[in-house]
């Protein structure tokens, strides 16, 4: 009896592994920057190019950094959600305008709405490399001490907001 059950058992183990494999997304490369200090930057602002924003300006609050560009199609998918989130006033969202043209970017914000407290300009993608950006959109959750707590790759969805991002933000905000 046993000798007939062994292949069945082996098949089941294999099936379980393959099933786990199906749920993994090779596009989601885990970031080594989680729980590490967010890379520092000093960048010009999109709306007012004379003004500079520094990553240190946000120390003491939990904030979201959303990497976006007017040429990025997937950004349009998540954008209404970000606008809604900004209206709810739960967490300040900052935009990293990645390798974009200033005029087109401003036009894009006028057209689709502007959820960002401030958008900063990373025209050559240097800060993007420091943050390990390899696709747009990407969203980072950064805590009061300036440490990256979460990275979301691809468009933010209602599901990811409700299940992961918002609970995390609440937890981080409650920390001293």
Stretch that binds another protein, among 7-15, 29-37, 106-114, 159-167 (CB under 8 A): 29-37
74 binds another protein (CB under 8 A): no
Rounded CA-CA distance 36/146 in Å is 9
The pair of three-digit structure tokens given for residue 49, joined into one six-digit string: 């190019």
Show the binding pattern over residues 139-158: x = contacts another protein (CB under 8 A), - = does not.
--------------------
Query: 12 and 121 in contact (C-beta within 8 Å)?
Result: no
Stretch that binds another protein, among 5-13, 28-36, 47-55, 74-82 (CB under 8 A): 28-36
131 binds another protein (CB under 8 A): yes
Cα distances (Å, whole numbers) of residue 167 to 91, 113, 150, 160: 12, 25, 12, 10
32 binds another protein (CB under 8 A): yes
> Which is closer to another protein, CB of 94 or CB of 98?
98
Minimum distance, C-beta of residue 90 to another protein, in the bound complex (Å)? 29
3-class secondary structure, 109 = helix
Minimum distance, C-beta of residue 113 to another protein, in the bound complex (Å)? 26
Q: Which residues pair with 42 in a beta bridge?
A: 54
128 binds another protein (CB under 8 A): yes
Rounded CA-CA distance 90/95 in Å is 16
Rounded CA-CA distance 61/142 in Å is 8
* Binding positions for another protein, rule: CB under 8 A: 26-27, 29-33, 99, 125-126, 128-132, 134-135
């Amino acid at each position: 009896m046993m000798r007939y059950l062994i292949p069945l058992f082996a098949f089941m183990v294999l099936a379980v592994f393959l099933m786990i494999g199906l749920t993994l997304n090779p596009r989601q490369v885990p970031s080594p920057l989680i729980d590490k200090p967010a890379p520092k930057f000093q960048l010009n602002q999109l709306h007012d190019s004379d003004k500079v924003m520094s990553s240190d300006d946000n120390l003491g609050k939990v904030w979201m950094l959303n990497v976006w560009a007017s040429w990025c199609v997937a950004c349009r998918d998540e954008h209404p959600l970000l606008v809604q989130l900004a209206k709810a006033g739960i967490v300040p969202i900052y935009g990293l305008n990645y390798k974009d043209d200033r005029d087109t970017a401003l036009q894009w914000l006028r057209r689709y709405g502007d959820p960002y407290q401030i958008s900063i300009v990373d025209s050559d993608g240097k800060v993007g490399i420091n943050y390990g950006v390899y696709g747009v959109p990407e969203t980072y959750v950064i805590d009061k001490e300036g440490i990256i707590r979460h990275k979301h790759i691809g468009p933010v969805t209602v599901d990811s907001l409700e299940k992961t991002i918002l609970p995390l933000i609440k937890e981080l905000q409650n920390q001293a």
